[in-house]
A and B are shown apart, each in its own frame.
Chain A
Amino acid sequence: MALWRNLALVAGLVVLVLAPFTQATYGTYVLCSWLIFAIAAMGLNLTLGYAGQISLAQASFMGIGAYTTALMTMAGIHWIFSVFAGMGLCFVVGLVLGYPALRVQHHFLAFITLAFATLAFLVMRNEDWLTGGVYGLVGIPRPDFGPISTMSQRSYYYFTLVVFLFAFAGFRWIVRSPWGRAFKALRENPIRANSLGVDTRLITLLAFAIGAAYGGLSGSLMAPLVQYIDPMSFTLIISLKILLMVVVGGSGYLFGPLLGAGLVIMLPEFLRFAESYYLMIYAGLVVILMVYCPTGLIGLIDKTAAAFKAKRVARGDLGQGAQL
């Protein structure tokens, strides 16, 4: 079993490495944004899928990361420093945003994070001196590492892929460490977790902060890719898009966001014919998906597999604790 899993991982990696050769510049750009959004979705998956804390502000953290990188690299500072600055800033803001989660849950937390997202958008739009206001920031340079430039789309893809692999490895490490177990325990039963010695306060804050830092990282990759950012790239709709990636892929699953980001990023390509109806169709699909398949795709696959196995009856009445 472990052998098959490793083989699948290697095969997946080979596909990721070879993928740009099958694509022209635009296709490579789409692949880049897939990996970048997958990082943001990974972060939200930690906050929401593992730790069970709802957040509608992931795009705001992407924005913080993107603006930090844009401002610093445009001032001539190397990208690598801007990433740490952006992730650090997101980590701190994430800690602050996590604080409400210590007091309120569910809808109330959803609305607080929604309000935060709106405030972040207002700052990006209104503080022209810093963010360029509605016109955004133009001419964000792509980083180079010694002789290696990332100016071509393909080289930027490989650069993104390397960062993505680091991010994924880090994520995998976190969720498989005792921290990951503590995050899950927080999701499933915070009171019991606390009585068993888990510092639920710290773990909740960390779930937000680490998730936010991943959002920041993804923003730091996004800014040099598109080389132009404006507040509209970080609105509530984008947060919802990231949330959708997590839920569609299957929240609380390691590979869920990767799959979800792929589907959500590819969807517009398939809906290209729809043009201005795109957002409408997209929103309609969200509603339909949530109504008929609220556990997401991996959840659906899991459920189907379990139904086929059917060697034991899961106790539905005890499922409550796992719900969000």
Chain B
Amino acid sequence: MTAEAPVLDVRNISKSFGGIKAVDDVSFTVNRGEILGLIGPNGSGKSTLFNCILGQSRPDKGKVEVNGKPVLGMRPCDLSKRLGVARTFQMLQVFPQMTVLDNIILAGQEHSGTMLGRLMGASDAGLTESADRLIAFFRLGHLRDELAGSLSYGQQKLLDAAMAFMAGPQLVLLDEPAGGVNLTMLEHLKDRLSTYNRENGSTFVVIEHNMEFVMSLCTRILVLANGAIIAEGSPEEVRANPIVIEAYLGS
């Protein structure tokens, strides 16, 4: 694989529901180390596009590849294990009756060894150290042995994001990571995400409604409206683009 090959390659994706084109011939690529922001008003086709990237929804036309391999029809667990695609959900998704440490270990345990090996081997699948590193990185160390359900919302959101990184993914899809998080926690979350990206050269795609968050986190932004890309560029370019302003404010 050459250094230039994109991590995520979305090519000519179209998808309609009952005559309404949710996504109309969208193409873009994401390179290693990029944080791509995907923004657009409600109903612009973000979620449909997201589902196509996750292989959960079959596009009418076009294809999606991660590191050159098609995602279509892959079960979520295989997408995670075989292609190294991690994701978070719009709604908070942690395992409330498990400790923070167990949440993190679970996120990594299925990515190495065999099913039987996991039964016979060490109870933590040898992951406690890397889990602890990740917990320390997200500054959740003091909560390590607490039940995830007893954490505050912001802390759970951090944990939610941390779980996505446990398996050392090729591509991380973050669905509204900032939703409902208060201002101080937001800064912390943004700082952790961009530090992680800088230190590990990992690749993110972020869907987010919080403009400040997207603009300061992402390296490149795609603006979707009515199922098509209407603008693309750095945060500054997108912010200044009159088409984007019109799409958001309406005519």
Q: How far is the CA of A155 from the CA of B76 in the complex (A)?
A: 52
The answer to whether the Cβ of A189 comes within 8 Å of any Cβ in the partner chain is yes
- Report yes or no: A197 in contact with B149, Cβ–Cβ below 8 A: no
A196-B110 CB under 8 A given contacts A188-B96, A191-B93, A315-B149: yes
Chain B residues in 8 Å Cβ range of A184: 95, 97-98, 102
Chain B residues in 8 Å Cβ range of A312: 146, 150
- Report yes or no: A198 in contact with B77, Cβ–Cβ below 8 A: yes
Tell me which of B95, B120, B156 contacts A192 (CB under 8 A). Answer: B95
Chain A residues in 8 Å Cβ range of B163: 196
Chain B residues in 8 Å Cβ range of A193: 95, 106
A185-B80 CB under 8 A given contacts A198-B110, A202-B115, A318-B156: no
Between B77, B79, B87, B121, the greatest number of chain A beta carbons within 10 A of the residue's beta carbon is seen for B77
In the complex, how many residues of chain B place their beta carbon closer than 8 angstroms to a beta carbon of chain A? Answer: 42
Q: How far is the CA of A42 from the CA of B174 in the complex (A)?
A: 39
The answer to whether the Cβ of B107 comes within 8 Å of any Cβ in the partner chain is yes
- Report yes or no: A181 in contact with B156, Cβ–Cβ below 8 A: no
Chain A residues in 8 Å Cβ range of B166: 196
Q: How many A-B residue pairs have CB under 8 A?
A: 111
Chain A residues in 8 Å Cβ range of B146: 312
Q: Give B68 Cβ to nearest chain A Cβ, in Å.
A: 21
In the complex, how many residues of chain A place their beta carbon closer than 8 angstroms to a beta carbon of chain B? Answer: 33
Q: Per-residue 0/1 for A217-229: is the Cβ within 8 Å of any B Cβ (1 yes, 0 no)?
A: 0000000000000
The answer to whether the Cβ of A195 comes within 8 Å of any Cβ in the partner chain is yes
- Report yes or no: A199 in contact with B77, Cβ–Cβ below 8 A: yes
The answer to whether the Cβ of A200 comes within 8 Å of any Cβ in the partner chain is yes
The answer to whether the Cβ of B223 comes within 8 Å of any Cβ in the partner chain is no
The answer to whether the Cβ of B89 comes within 8 Å of any Cβ in the partner chain is yes
Q: Is the interface of A mostly helix, strand, loop or mixed?
A: helix
- Report yes or no: B123 in contact with A199, Cβ–Cβ below 8 A: no
- Report yes or no: B118 in contact with A197, Cβ–Cβ below 8 A: no
Q: Give B92 Cβ to nearest chain A Cβ, in Å.
A: 7
Q: How far is the CA of A318 from the CA of B147 in the complex (A)?
A: 12
The answer to whether the Cβ of A314 comes within 8 Å of any Cβ in the partner chain is yes
- Report yes or no: B96 in contact with A318, Cβ–Cβ below 8 A: yes
The answer to whether the Cβ of A322 comes within 8 Å of any Cβ in the partner chain is yes
The answer to whether the Cβ of B11 comes within 8 Å of any Cβ in the partner chain is no
Chain A residues in 8 Å Cβ range of B151: 315
Between B86, B87, B95, the greatest number of chain A beta carbons within 10 A of the residue's beta carbon is seen for B95
Q: How far is the CA of A113 from the CA of B96 in the complex (A)?
A: 28
- Which residues of B, 28-87, contact A by the 8 Å Cβ criterion? 75-77, 79-81, 86-87
The answer to whether the Cβ of A319 comes within 8 Å of any Cβ in the partner chain is yes
The answer to whether the Cβ of A179 comes within 8 Å of any Cβ in the partner chain is yes
Tell me which of B77, B119, B120, B124 contacts A195 (CB under 8 A). Answer: B77
Chain A residues in 8 Å Cβ range of B139: none
Q: Per-residue 0/1 for B126-146: is the Cβ within 8 Å of any A Cβ (1 yes, 0 no)?
A: 000000000000000000001
The answer to whether the Cβ of B217 comes within 8 Å of any Cβ in the partner chain is no
The answer to whether the Cβ of A174 comes within 8 Å of any Cβ in the partner chain is yes
Q: Per-residue 0/1 for A297-324: is the Cβ within 8 Å of any B Cβ (1 yes, 0 no)?
A: 0000000000000001111001101100
- Nearest A residue to B117 via CB reads A178
- Report yes or no: B167 in contact with A322, Cβ–Cβ below 8 A: no
The answer to whether the Cβ of B125 comes within 8 Å of any Cβ in the partner chain is yes
- Which residues of A, 40-59, contact B by the 8 Å Cβ criterion? none
The answer to whether the Cβ of B111 comes within 8 Å of any Cβ in the partner chain is yes
- Report yes or no: A182 in contact with B106, Cβ–Cβ below 8 A: yes
A185-B156 CB under 8 A given contacts A176-B123, A195-B80: no
- Report yes or no: A197 in contact with B77, Cβ–Cβ below 8 A: yes
The answer to whether the Cβ of A177 comes within 8 Å of any Cβ in the partner chain is yes
- Report yes or no: B149 in contact with A319, Cβ–Cβ below 8 A: yes
Between A184, A197, A198, the greatest number of chain B beta carbons within 10 A of the residue's beta carbon is seen for A197
Q: Give A113 Cβ to nearest chain B Cβ, in Å.
A: 23
Q: How far is the CA of A184 from the CA of B98 in the complex (A)?
A: 8
- Report yes or no: B123 in contact with A178, Cβ–Cβ below 8 A: yes
Q: Give A313 Cβ to nearest chain B Cβ, in Å.
A: 8
Q: Give A312 Cβ to nearest chain B Cβ, in Å.
A: 6
Between B106, B107, B118, the greatest number of chain A beta carbons within 10 A of the residue's beta carbon is seen for B106
The 10 sampled A-B contact pairs (Cβ below 8 Å) are A176-B123, A182-B110, A184-B102, A188-B96, A192-B94, A193-B106, A194-B75, A196-B77, A199-B115, A315-B153
Give chain B's interface residues, CB within 8 Å of chain A.
75-77, 79-81, 86-87, 89, 92-98, 102, 105-107, 109-111, 115, 118-121, 123-125, 146-147, 149-153, 156, 163, 166-167
Give chain A's interface residues, CB within 8 Å of chain B.
174, 176-179, 181-182, 184-185, 187-189, 191-202, 252, 312-315, 318-319, 321-322
- In order of increasing CB-CB distance, the 5 nearest A-B pairs are A197-B110, A192-B93, A197-B80, A178-B118, A188-B95
